[in-house]
Amino acid sequence: MARRASRTSFGLVPRSPLVDLLKPRARGFTIVELLIVVVVIAILAAITIVAYTGIQNRAHDSSVKNDLRQLTTKVEAYRAEFGAAPRGDAVLGTLGLKVSRASYGDLTLSSSSDSSNILYCSPAANTQTYAWIARSKSGTIWFQGTAGTGTFVYSAADTTELCANAGITVTGSTSDRSWGQLTDTWASWL
């Protein structure tokens, strides 16, 4: 491209190439460029959603584990004072128990349509033993009690199996167990 010259008092002076750059041009993005931008944004969004879900799951797990520690502390205080673990909803109601309800997921038994998310096992045959069992929204099942602390894979058909997975042997009697939430209704003691 030949440079144009402009006339000044000094004679002909070549025009600067910068002047051509400052001229407005009718130029836009091509379809390919726009598609690349859309794909990059979609990839970043997917990464963000996966990371956020992982952070949420860890937060729910931490909340449930903290709740189980606090519940265990209250049961241990009761056990120290009365010589036995508390049994039944009425006694549990006197302990001032609280949980972070939003962090719990459903724990549905295969032998029933009932679902819960936290279970307290305290057998009549051995008043010194107990266990709390809870399912986090992440899907992890946690337990804490006299048999220790841990997690297990859930495949229980009934609460007898569920308590056994946490190291507590209970009979078929439902008086050995208290649900923290049964079929979407929270117990009054939580």
Answer yes or no: pTM beyond 0.85: no
pLDDT tens per residue, range 11-54: 565 666 666 666 666 678 889 999 999 999 999 999 988 888 88
Question: Within 10 A of 103 (CB to CB), how many other CB atoms are there?
Answer: 22
Whole-angstrom Cα distance, residue 75 to residue 62? 20
Name all contacts of 87-91 with Cβ < 8 Å and 24+ positions apart: 87/122, 87/124, 87/127, 87/175, 87/176, 88/175, 88/178, 89/178, 89/187, 89/188, 89/189
Dump pLDDT digits (tens) for 92-122.
889 999 888 888 887 766 655 556 788 898 8
Token pair listed for 30: 């091509």
CA dihedral 76, 81, 82, 86 (to 10 degrees): -30
Each domain of the chain, given as residue ranges in start order, spans: 52-186
Q: Phi/psi of residue 8, each to 5°?
A: -130, 180
